[in-house]
């Protein structure tokens, strides 16, 4: 059987302890397998001088009987033992001692057995009688190797722990910008797994289209060795949402100092960006509200006088008269001005919600019915995907009707016949509702995607450009957010999130002419 033997300090005069290095751990867990009692005692004393912990066995059978011993780091054994040769027993011993290196000592060496032993993974092959310094130096060399391996493993465990537990995104890209590795937090935030993206272009798959050119330039500069910090950009999640991150980028090099990859570490600043945007919107709203109040006060009486005069003229001018068309034109212009003032007032006014539980498909079906007159004879259809969910969502119904009206009207305005608007609604176990609205329009260009929610931005020849800004305010009032997502095919894609555990809307489409209601 294997046993651990301890003796008093050896008094061998022929050698001094071999020190592996100042401050370096050079003690090993050693298994000594030797059937000759004198040789066993001599080797034990030599190794004990350097502080190694030594177990002894007299045969291969003793080692087998002791079973698995993963803590043994070095095995010193005689080539020939009563129950076999080392060449025959070594495959079994490596299984029982998985973390051990092997040194063979023999007085019966031949070239064939030596080659066979090294092929089986033996570290050293020593001839008897073994000089104390020879065995101690061989063991010390292995101790240094084990120490280096231990340090490397410790550093690797530390690095893996940082990767696994860091609440920052850690991304490694090769010199072509393709993903080599990222940490679990990247998956937790974005939903992407390494199997999804490994070897693929990070910028093409994870960066919003409007920011890709800028990020490619940042990558090129970083790949030349330039360290960059404070770079902010959006990151696409697997479900098409966009989160904002601030990045610090650097490079990784090989042992020759050659740059091999780019390391990017990102901190989620989505909440900060949203808070800044909300504050900026509040300031704009305050200024707009003051302006609109003054305009409304000054314009109300003038518009009333215009409308009264138009009605009087209509009484005096026959319908078939050419002048009647001019009067009607004045009336339409007055109405449009009133609608514009009302839309600006609505945008600037605080939104008060009156929530109630409702199934969303009832809301969008009702809105689609309202738009029957607007559609007229157009070839347009609303298609609902099979199995749409019927979860109740706590929203302001009138405000959500306004959201759906904007979605549908913009699609109708942008699409050529036949118009096809598809709605797919799903919910998960937490009651989160995901709504995907698509149409067959031409989509949004990069500028429109970037500026869509800015007040007064429009590509139409008429309109205030406040439609999507009002939609954004409605979603904000529901403690949600709306972002422009990546299109899956044609059209654009919008992602609307309504609070935690409330509802998520992923609406896609909207095209060139659909910048406002």
81-110 pLDDT, tens digit per residue, is: 888 888 888 888 888 988 888 988 887 767
CATH topology of domain 166-268: Beta-Lactamase (3.30.450)
Instruction: Provide the pLDDT for residue 175.
Output: 94
Per-residue pLDDT of the chain (517 residues; tens, 9 = 90+): 555 444 333 333 333 333 333 334 568 889 999 888 888 888 898 888 888 889 999 898 888 888 888 889 899 988 888 888 888 888 888 889 888 889 888 877 677 777 877 787 788 888 888 888 888 888 888 888 888 777 777 776 776 666 666 678 899 999 999 999 999 899 999 999 999 999 999 999 999 888 999 999 999 999 998 888 889 999 999 887 889 999 999 999 988 889 999 999 999 988 888 788 777 766 766 666 666 666 666 677 777 788 888 888 888 887 777 787 788 888 878 777 777 777 666 666 777 888 998 888 898 899 998 898 888 888 999 988 887 777 788 888 888 888 888 888 888 888 888 988 888 777 776 667 777 778 888 888 777 877 888 777 776 666 667 778 888 888 888 877 777 777 666 777 777 777 544 445 555 544 444 444 3
pLDDT of residue 246: 92
Separation of alpha carbons 80 and 34, rounded Å: 9
Residue 512: partners with Cβ closer than 8 Å, 6 or more residues away? 414, 441, 442, 443, 444, 445, 448, 459
Reported as type and span, the H/E element at residue 71 is none
Helix, strand, coil percentages for the chain (3-state, nearest 5): 45, 25, 30
Q: Which phi and psi angles does 376 have, rounded to 5°?
A: 60, -125
- With beta carbons less than 8 A apart as the criterion, state whether 228 and 248 touch: yes
- CA nearest neighbour of 111 among 130, 127, 100, 97: 127
Parts of the chain belonging to CATH 3.30.450.20? 166-268
For the whole model, what pTM was predicted?
Answer: 0.47
Strands 503-508 and 493-498: antiparallel
Angle of helix 397-414 versus helix 360-370 axis, rounded to 10: 50
> CB count, 10 Å around CB of 35?
17
CB-based contact 18:137 (threshold 8 Å): yes
Q: In this structure, what DSSP letter does residue 201 have?
A: B
pLDDT at position 391: 76
The Cα–Cα gap between 77 and 66 comes to 16
Give the CATH fold of the 273-348 domain. Helix Hairpins (1.10.287)
Domain at 355-508: CATH architecture: 2-Layer Sandwich (3.30)
Q: Is 497 helix (H, G, I), strand (E, B) or coil?
A: strand
What pLDDT sits at residue 9? Answer: 36
pLDDT of residue 1: 56
**For the chain, what is the total number of helices (H) and then of strands (E)?**
16, 21
Which residues have CB under 8 Å from 342's CB, separation 6+?
none
Q: Give the whole-angstrom CA distance, residue 14 versus residue 443.
A: 88
State how far the Cα of 229 lies from the Cα of 250, in Å rounded to an integer.
Answer: 9
Question: Taking a C-beta distance cutoff of 8 angstroms, is the pair 437, 444 a contact?
Answer: no
Q: What is the token pair recorded at 444?
A: 């949004």
Instruction: Kindly state the helix (H) or strand (E) to which residue 311 belongs, with its residue range.
Output: helix 270-316
Provide the pLDDT for residue 8: 37
C-alpha Rg value of the chain to the nearest Å: 39
CA–CA separation, 354 vs 366, rounded Å?
18
Give the Cα separation of 281 and 277 in Å (integer): 6
CATH 3.30.565.10 spans which residues of the chain? 355-508
Question: pLDDT at position 25, please?
Answer: 55
pLDDT, position 285: 65
Does the domain formed by 3-162 have CATH 3.40.50.2300? Answer: yes
**Maximum pairwise Cα distance, the chain:** 135
Cβ-proximal residues to 222 (8 Å cutoff; 6+ apart), any chain? 228, 249, 250, 251, 262
Q: Taking the CB of residue 239, how many other CB atoms lie within 10 A of it?
A: 13
Residue spans in the chain of domains classed CATH 1.10.287: 273-348
Give ranges for CATH 3.40.50.2300 in the chain: 3-162
Q: How far apart are the first and last CA of the chain?
A: 87
């Amino acid at each position: 059987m294997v046993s651990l033997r301890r003796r008093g300090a050896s008094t061998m005069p022929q050698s001094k302890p071999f020190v592996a290095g100042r401050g370096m751990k050079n003690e090993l867990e050693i298994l000594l397998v030797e059937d000759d009692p004198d040789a066993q005692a001599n080797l034990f004393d030599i190794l004990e001088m350097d502080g190694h912990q030594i177990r002894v066995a007299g045969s291969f059978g003793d080692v087998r009987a002791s079973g698995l011993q993963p803590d043994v780091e070095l095995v010193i054994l005689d080539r020939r033992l009563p129950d076999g040769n080392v060449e025959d027993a070594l495959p079994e011993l490596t299984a029982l001692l998985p973390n051990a290196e092997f040194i063979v000592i023999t007085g019966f060496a031949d070239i064939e057995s030596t080659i066979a032993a090294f092929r089986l993974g033996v570290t050293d092959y020593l001839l008897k009688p073994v000089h104390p310094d020879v065995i101690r130096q061989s063991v010390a060399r292995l101790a240094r190797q084990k120490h280096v391996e231990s340090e490397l493993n410790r550093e690797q465990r530390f690095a893996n722990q940082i990767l696994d537990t860091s609440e920052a995104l850690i991304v490694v890209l090769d010199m072509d910008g393709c993903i080599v590795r990222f940490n679990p937090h990247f998956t937790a935030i974005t939903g992407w797994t390494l199997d999804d993206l490994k070897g693929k272009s990070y910028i093409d798959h994870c960066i919003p289209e409007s920011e890709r050119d800028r990020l490619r330039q940042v990558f090129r500069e970083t790949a030349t060795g330039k360290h960059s910090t404070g770079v902010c950009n959006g990151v696409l999640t697997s479900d098409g949402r966009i989160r904002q991150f601030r990045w610090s980028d650097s490079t990784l090099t090989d042992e020759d100092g050659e740059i091999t990859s780019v390391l990017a570490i990102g901190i989620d600043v989505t909440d900060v960006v949203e808070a800044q945007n909300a504050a900026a919107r509040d300031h704009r709203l305050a200024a707009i509200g003051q302006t609109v109040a003054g305009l409304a006060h000054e314009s109300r009486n003038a518009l009333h006088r215009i409308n009264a005069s138009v009605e009087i003229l209509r009484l005096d001018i026959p319908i078939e008269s050419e002048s009647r068309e001019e009067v009607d034109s004045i009336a339409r212009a007055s109405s449009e001005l009133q609608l514009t003032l009302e839309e600006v007032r609505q945008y600037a006014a605080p939104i008060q919600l009156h929530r109630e539980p409702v199934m969303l498909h009832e809301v969008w079906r009702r809105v689609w019915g309202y738009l029957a007159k607007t559609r007229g004879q157009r070839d347009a259809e609303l298609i609902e995907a099979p199995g749409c969910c019927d979860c109740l969502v706590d929203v302001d119904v009138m405000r959500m009707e306004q959201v759906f009206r904007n979605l549908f009207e913009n699609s109708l305005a942008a699409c050529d016949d036949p118009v096809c608007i598809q709605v797919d609604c799903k919910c998960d176990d937490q009651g989160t509702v995901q709504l995907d609205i698509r149409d067959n329009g031409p989509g949004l260009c990069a500028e429109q995607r970037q500026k869509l929610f800015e007040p007064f931005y429009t590509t139409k020849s008429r309109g205030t450009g406040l439609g999507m800004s009002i939609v954004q305010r409605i979603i904000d009032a529901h403690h949600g957010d709306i972002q422009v997502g990546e299109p899956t095919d044609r059209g654009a894609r919008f992602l609307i999130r309504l609070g935690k555990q409330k509802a998520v809307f992923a609406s896609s489409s909207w095209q060139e002419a659909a910048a406002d209601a």
